Structure 1
Amino acid sequence: MSNSPEIGSRTRTRAIMERYGIRTKKSFGQNFLTDLNVLKNIVDAAAISKNDNVIEIGPGIGALTEQLAQAAGEVVALEIDQDLIPVLGEVLAPYDNVKVINQDVLQANLPELIKREFTDPTRPIKVVANLPYYITSPILMNLLASPVQWATICVMMQKEVAQRLTAKPGTKQYGSLTLAIEYQMQAKIAFEVSRRVFVPSPNVDSAIVVLSPREQALAVKPFDKNKLFGFIRGCFAHRRKSLWNNLQSVIGKDPAVKEKMQAILAELAISPQIRPEKLTLVQFISLANRLHQQDLL
């Protein structure tokens, strides 16, 4: 291993940026983390071991990648910025268990990538990433839509988004994103991260969220997952309006339709005047299923 300071130290980060003439790109949402304690805590939160395969999204200049390489069996880092590929090749040269690929994760065939890039693709697959703020939700939805059985997804994101992912019914942060995550995973905030430990410093604080597979199956299954979440998004389209008003926007205002909707809500003991954020995921699934059975959805 090199005797140089670890990549995630502020002095080494600045030295690397100066040596390679690196300027962070707003178009890629680049902010380099420069606190070794935070980096090591991320690895701990993801519970990385030598038995794990790790996919890192957006390694930047390799600060988190280095910590992952020290803890994991193998690391495959997907970096969209082609200019950083040679930099990563050099700074991560001491680690023979790291592969860096110039790849947009949203365009990647993840099952094929895992089979191709890992020596033993049967080992637990964990995702660890410092996600760009502007594309956090699409990346998470892409990971959850994949057939890959993730052992853990441990990601840094804007604190406000982290609060939405882990929100409880009845809170202002609770919404369609919360429910999309809850459908497959259990979410918890491991710890918060100050904006002051980044170069450049972003305008908001961050948080580390750990997603793990649900321990218990949902009590009710939806008739169609994609249609369910399209329905849920429609129900949250106007947060200040009642569920009834949102349903009319989604389903329609025909008198016969409204009569059926009223009967379904009464059957499920759901008040038409309730706000959408008061409903649990199981209630949304039950409501969508009954609307579908009545040919309304």
Structure 2
Amino acid sequence: MKIANRQRTKDILQKHNIKLKKSLGQNFLTDNNILDKIVAEANLSSEDSVIEVGPGIGALTERMSEAAKEVVAVELDNRLIPVLNEIFEEQDNVSIIHGDALEVDFDSLIDGDYKVVANLPYYITTPIIMRFLEESSGAKEIVVMVQKEVGERMVASPGGKDYGILSIAVQYYTEAEIAFGVPSSVFIPRPKVDSAIVSLKVLDYPRAKVEDEDFFFKVVKSAFHQRRKTVRNSLSKAPFLSVPRDIIDQALEEVEIDPRRRAEKISVEKFIELSNAIYRIY
């Protein structure tokens, strides 16, 4: 019987006397159809190496091991390591790593390029994704399950309430889309919110050249610091961007952004132009 079955999941947890921790975001998937759709979305083949974050008791790990060349699963909860080792002791293409995904050097786990496929713990979704995008050279495609609301923010276009810093950061590095939704009813225990599978195709190069990447993200963070204010006021008053107002005004005029516009209406490309202009003038 597959792990992704409500009774099998309960039996494994009971056998090892494991009580799930809400603090670790432990919600285990029990629907094999969803797993099949995840593997199909990631387009896994016998040529692919995969990193999985937060395997739990291995439902997704098991399914991916049938399709991929190798799966390296990084699990924080030390109680689950012997469970995973027992389940996959005869699977030569599965490696279980006990570690913190916020600290592990992912590129050292696999030689060459890899895909990231995971049911991410909700409480650290954003920092984990940003680690792969900012610090990894090997991650070429990321297919992850996230809270539906977070997925909508990742793929949001300018002009709506969902568009913000996360949207810009993700879309600066990737082509992002929501592949499909996942109802809360297919998890043990059942979370309070629905989920979504997000597909991020990592670009060979960021969307456009920035003069200074750290400065670019400071500009974006500053612009959204007081979301209801105009971009001119936000950039002028943000505590982490010490740029005189006359330079802000000059840069906005140069890149043809109305200073009365709010940050949520400015595209990723325009933010890049604005950041570059401020950087050059300043």
Query: What residue is the counterpart of 1:276 in the other structure?
Result: 263
Q: Which runs of 5+ in 2 are unaligned?
A: none
SS at match of 2:79: helix
1:34 partnered with 2:22: no
1:146 maps to which of 118, 130, 135: 135
| Match runs of 1:148-163 below 5 Å | 148-163=137-152
Task: Output the amino acid matched with 2:78.
Answer: Q
Bigger radius of gyration, 1 or 2? 1
2:210 maps to which of 222, 228, 236: 222
Task: Output the amino acid matched with 1:38.
Answer: I
| Offset of residue 176 of structure 1 | 0.8
What RMSD, in angstroms, separates the aligned Cα atoms of the two structures? 1.5
Query: Is the Cα–Cα contact under 8 Å of residues 7 and 13 in structure 1 kept in the other structure?
Result: yes
In the aligned structure 2, how far is the partner of 1:67 from the partner of 1:175? 34
Query: What residue is the counterpart of 1:209 in the other structure?
Result: 198
SS at match of 2:118: strand
**Percent identity at matched positions?**
45
| Offset of residue 264 of structure 1 | 2.3
| Match runs of 1:77-226 below 5 Å | 77-114=73-110, 121-122=111-112, 124-214=113-203, 218=207, 220-226=208-214
TM-score (norm 2): 0.95
Q: Deviations over 1:213-243 (max 9, x none)?
A: 237863x411111221122011111111111
Query: Is the Cα–Cα contact under 8 Å of residues 110 and 148 in structure 1 kept in the other structure?
Result: no
Q: Deviations over 1:119-154 (max 9, x none)?
A: xx23x4011111111110000111111232322111
SS at match of 1:152: strand
In the aligned structure 2, how far is the partner of 1:132 from the partner of 1:94? 27
Query: What residue is the counterpart of 2:227 in the other structure?
Result: 239
Task: Output the amino acid matched with 2:211.
Answer: F
Query: Is the Cα–Cα contact under 8 Å of residues 152 and 211 in structure 1 kept in the other structure?
Result: yes
Query: Is the Cα–Cα contact under 8 Å of residues 174 and 206 in structure 2 kept in the other structure?
Result: no
In the aligned structure 1, how far is the partner of 2:93 from the partner of 2:147? 30
TM-score (norm 1): 0.90
Larger mean CA deviation between 158-167 and 84-93 belongs to 84-93
Query: What residue is the counterpart of 2:14 in the other structure?
Result: 18
Would the alpha carbon gap of residues 262 and 151 (structure 1) be closer, same or farther in structure 2, given more than 3 Å must change? closer
Q: Which runs of 5+ in 1 are unaligned?
A: 115-120
Would the alpha carbon gap of residues 226 and 264 (structure 1) be closer, same or farther in structure 2, given more than 3 Å must change? closer
SS at match of 1:44: helix
